[in-house]
């Protein structure tokens, strides 16, 4: 694997761009390929087995494009597939997502933490293991947030209907007196402003900066950091609607680009 090879990043949609933008900020020399599997969004309500097969095929697609590392910028895919991917591609470094229960449990004063995520994330062994290792007697109030991923995909970030939805998800979290909220889905940092307005004084944790630091550490350990003094190039791929994708890239991360369209055929990601 070469140092100048790109970092492959994927999510069910545009949520992983919250991780991509931190990687691009912290590691400006690195090239990236970002894959949004928008034809299959949302992943959250799907079975872990189905998410695992999507994740494996997308990983193959990114490795075929010579990626030196894969960032699973999706909590649902990390819960369903991270262990499997590491076993299936033992030579490839992977970085995945896990809900930030550890920093939340360390900093909460009320001893109550809200966790916003999708059903797949709460189902996986990864979440159970994070809770077992780090919750340390802290009470977790879990909310699955139906429909929120779709609102964010549609670019409806701080609109009255999204605020109303968030307000509803916050009811049990407020009632339990949580002072910290963990964003356990990579889409949710795009509504962090709205959440902070609706829950003043509550500490809302976006895990992306810590994940980007982990990407840096792993590349460093493996001697894979880009050594050239240059500005990284970024490519964006979707399995969904290209125009919509380009619009949301502009809106969310200020990227103007000709994105690439890929398709699914017999369980593989292909170009027509």
Residues at the interface with ligand DGL (CB under 6 A): 11-13, 15, 41-44, 74-76, 118, 121, 149, 185-187
Choose between 59 and 224: whose C-beta lies nearer to ligand DGL.
59
Choose between 4 and 244: whose C-beta lies nearer to ligand DGL.
244
d(CA 206, CA 203): 10
Q: What's the min distance (Å) between Cβ of 189 and ligand DGL?
A: 10
Choose between 46 and 234: whose C-beta lies nearer to ligand DGL.
46
Kindly give, in sequence order, each residue whose CB lies less than 8 Å from that of residue 105, ignoring residues fewer than 6 positions away: 113, 134, 135, 136, 138
Choose between 76 and 195: whose C-beta lies nearer to ligand DGL.
76
145 is catalytic: no
Choose between 74 and 199: whose C-beta lies nearer to ligand DGL.
74
Q: Are strands 112-116 and 139-143 parallel, antiparallel or unpaired?
A: parallel
51 class by beta-carbon count within 10 Å (0-12 exposed, 13-18 middle, 19+ buried):
buried
d(CA 219, CA 93): 8
Q: What's the min distance (Å) between Cβ of 223 and ligand DGL?
A: 29
SS3 state at 32: strand
Tokens of 163: 């605020």
Q: What's the min distance (Å) between Cβ of 116 and ligand DGL?
A: 10
Q: What's the min distance (Å) between Cβ of 227 and ligand DGL?
A: 31
Residue recorded with tokens 């077992």:
132
The one catalytic residue among 67, 145, 185, 226: 185
Length of the chain equals 272
d(CA 252, CA 190): 8
74 is catalytic: yes
Q: Are strands 203-205 and 234-238 parallel, antiparallel or unpaired?
A: unpaired
Q: What's the min distance (Å) between Cβ of 55 and ligand DGL?
A: 11
The one catalytic residue among 67, 74, 145, 226: 74
Tokens of 102: 């550890």
What are the residue numbers of the active site?
Answer: 74, 185
């Amino acid at each position: 694997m070469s140092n100048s090879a790109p970092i492959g990043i994927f999510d069910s949609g545009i949520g992983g761009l919250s991780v991509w933008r931190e990687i691009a900020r912290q590691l400006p020399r690195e090239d990236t390929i970002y894959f949004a599997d928008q034809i299959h969004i949302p992943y959250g309500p799907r079975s872990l087995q189905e998410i695992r097969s999507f994740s494996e095929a997308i990983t193959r697609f990114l490795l075929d494009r010579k990626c030196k590392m894969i960032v699973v910028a999706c909590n649902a895919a990390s819960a369903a597939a991270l262990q499997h991917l590491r076993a299936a591609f033992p030579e490839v470094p992977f970085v995945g997502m896990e809900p930030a229960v550890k920093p939340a449990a360390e900093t909460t004063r009320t001893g109550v933490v809200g966790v916003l995520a999708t059903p797949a994330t709460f189902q996986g062994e990864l979440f159970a293991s994070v809770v077992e290792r780090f919750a340390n007697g802290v009470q977790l109030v879990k909310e699955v947030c139906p429909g929120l991923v779709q609102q964010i995909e549609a670019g409806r970030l701080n609109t009255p209907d999204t605020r109303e939805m968030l307000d509803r998800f916050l009811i049990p979290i407020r009632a339990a007196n949580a002072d910290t909220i963990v964003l356990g889905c990579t889409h949710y940092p795009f509504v962090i402003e709205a959440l902070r307005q609706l829950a003043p004084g509550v500490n809302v944790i976006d895990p992306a900066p810590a994940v980007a630091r982990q990407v840096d550490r792993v590349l460093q350990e493996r001697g894979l950091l880009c050594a050239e003094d240059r500005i990284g190039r970024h490519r964006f791929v979707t399995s969904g609607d290209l125009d919509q994708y380009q619009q949301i890239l502009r809106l969310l991360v200020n990227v103007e680009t000709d994105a690439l369209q890929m398709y699914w055929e017999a369980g593989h990601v292909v170009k027509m």
